[in-house]
Chains A and B, each alone.
Chain A
């Protein structure tokens, strides 16, 4: 079964850091672009960052540039999002998703809450 499972969310104070992980199974992870998408409470969807199959290209939405870093470990079938200098407005459910030309597989999401 093709599956993505996120972990690493939690409650953190403004200015803090978190590292999200996404484990992939059921497909050849190294064949796909991967993306992090977030959804603030009661709001719509926002792509945060994505990464090429071999990790050689990475793109970020402007609001997280310089604070978030996307990475992957193809040997471990894992995707990561290092989030530093977190802000209240980063509070959201974070999903990992497969692909770049439309996201055809999604994880269940992990919740990040930034609050003092």
Chain B
């Protein structure tokens, strides 16, 4: 089974900082990767799909990159509303889907 490793597990940054979260796959997954944001007590929301495609309605300060085994989610200018936990997810179309363990982003 493909394992997804996210880092860091937590990060703390100032408003307007550039923030990067990394997700590594245990084997190549091409660009079959999505990123989600989840706030406490809420359902997750899709941010990025196919590694780098921005979901409709998501602010442009969010971006995704990578292919193969290494992927990044970048927040270009951190905003107070971005405090949340972020998850990467690998999907192969139907039968395999795996979330990373999450990265909690806090605002200093």
A27 at the interface (CB under 8 A from B): no
Complex contacts, A103 vs chain B, CB 8 Å = 34, 36, 44, 46
For window 73-89 of chain B, which residues contact chain A by CB distance below 8 Å?
Answer: 87, 89
Contact indicator A44/B99 (Cβ below 8 Å)? yes
Q: Which stretch in B12-20, B22-30, B90-98 binds the other chain?
A: B90-98
A95 at the interface (CB under 8 A from B): yes
Complex contacts, B102 vs chain A, CB 8 Å = 44-45
A100 to B95, CA, bound (A): 9
Complex contacts, B99 vs chain A, CB 8 Å = 44-47
Contact indicator A45/B44 (Cβ below 8 Å)? yes
Contact indicator A102/B91 (Cβ below 8 Å)? yes
Complex contacts, A104 vs chain B, CB 8 Å = 46, 49, 55
Residue tally, chain A, CB below 8 Å to B: 21
Scan B33-73; emit 1 where CB is below 8 A from any A CB, else 0. Answer: 01010100001111001100001000000000000000000
A108 at the interface (CB under 8 A from B): yes
Complex contacts, A102 vs chain B, CB 8 Å = 34, 46, 49-50, 55, 89, 91
B107 at the interface (CB under 8 A from A): no
Closest to A45 in B: B99
Contact indicator B95/A106 (Cβ below 8 Å)? no
* Selected contact of A50 from candidates B50, B55, B87, B94, CB within 8 Å: B94
Contact indicator B101/A44 (Cβ below 8 Å)? yes
Given contacts A45-B99, A46-B99, A50-B94, contact A107 B89 (CB under 8 A): no
Complex contacts, B97 vs chain A, CB 8 Å = 35, 47, 50, 100
7 A-B contact pairs sorted by A residue (CB < 8 Å): A45-B87, A45-B89, A59-B94, A100-B94, A101-B93, A102-B50, A104-B46
Instruction: List 8 additional contacts besides A100-B94, A102-B46; criterion CB under 8 Å.
Output: A33-B94, A47-B97, A57-B94, A101-B49, A102-B34, A106-B45, A107-B43, A109-B43
